[in-house]
Amino acid sequence: MEPSKLYFERQFAKSLYLIQEMGRLTDKLGAVLVDHQDISPFAPTAVQFALIARETPNAIIELLRRGYLGQPYVLLRWYLEMAHLSYYLWQNPDRHSAWLLGKDVKPGSVRKFMRKEGFPDWGGVYDEWSGLVHGSAKLLLNYHKLERLGRKRSEHEVIIGNALVYLMWYGQKTNYVLAKLLQDSLGNSINHLARRYVELDDKVSDITRELSVSSDPTVDGKITE
């Protein structure tokens, strides 16, 4: 089901605008960090993660705008992993050093750490989306099941709306890392950017409640069997 461009822009205007604003904040935080990469050994890595956070939403939104549903969730699964990995490496300097030398970090280690930090467990979503990524016998089944759901207007809007919410969540995780990294070293000089992060976070919470992400048909076993 391919929505018209006008429908897409109108139906999801609030989410699209908020994602643009988050991207602008990422740009501003990243620009400051580029000029202060000596504040932390993690700073150069954070700049690279900021580039991912800036580019990935654009690719996902363009796919959604063109009516694709399976491919955006493949990218969302990758983006989920990158956003949480950024936080994990920032909080674990020893692991960051080893990671730079080529030692991989297992997703399970990141998930366990994020739970310990008080974040919601995203393991179920990660596992469900993996059914659209890994080359198992269920890959085609999962992909076409999502496409069939998307032919219904009501389900189509849920799938797109929730994908945009996930984009906001992961973008804000990146912005949080950048803001805290800078604030811990530069203090009051970047308070205006930290305040902007909080403002955007409140708006993300509002949209999350409006769209009810818990009804996302990509979770709770509705795609994978």
* Short-list 88, 108, 113, CA closest to 98: 88
Look at the chain and report how many structural domains it folds into: 1
Give residue-wise pLDDT tens across range 41-58: 999 999 999 999 999 999
Looking at this protein, which amino acid is placed at residue 23?
Answer: G
Q: Is the pLDDT of residue 213 over 60?
A: no
pLDDT for 5 equals 66
Q: Which two tokens stand for residue 174?
A: 């990146």
Q: What is the largest CA-CA distance in the chain?
A: 54
pLDDT for 113 equals 93
Residue 104 contacts residue 196 (beta carbons within 8 Å): no
In a domain, 171, yes or no: yes
pLDDT band at 216; cut points 50, 70, 90: very low
Q: Is the pLDDT of residue 2 over 90?
A: no
Question: For the chain, what is the mean pLDDT?
Answer: 84
Q: Is the pLDDT of residue 186 over 60?
A: yes
Cβ atoms < 10 Å from Cβ of 108: 10
In a domain, 128, yes or no: yes
Q: Which two tokens stand for residue 204?
A: 């993300």
Higher pLDDT, 171 or 224: 171
In a domain, 56, yes or no: yes
pLDDT for 70 equals 84
Q: Average pLDDT for residues 179-205, to the nearest whole number?
A: 89
pLDDT band at 139; cut points 50, 70, 90: confident
Q: How far is CA 174 from the centre of its chain?
A: 8
In a domain, 220, yes or no: no
pLDDT for 154 equals 67
Residue 219 contacts residue 124 (beta carbons within 8 Å): yes
Which residues lie closer than 8 Å to 97 by C-beta, 6 or more apart?
Answer: 41
pLDDT for 3 equals 56
Instruction: State pTM to two decimals.
Output: 0.84
Lowest mean pLDDT: which of 22-26, 173-177, 189-193?
189-193
In a domain, 224, yes or no: no
In a domain, 198, yes or no: yes
Q: Is the pLDDT of residue 221 over 50?
A: no
Residue 186 contacts residue 39 (beta carbons within 8 Å): yes
In a domain, 104, yes or no: yes
Give residue-wise pLDDT tens across range 77-134: 999 999 999 999 999 999 999 999 999 999 889 999 988 988 877 777 777 787 777 7
Residue numbers of the domain that contains 116: 5-215
pLDDT band at 158; cut points 50, 70, 90: confident
pLDDT for 187 equals 82
Side-chain-side CA neighbours of 205 within 13 Å: the count stands at: 6
Higher pLDDT, 129 or 220: 129
In a domain, 221, yes or no: no
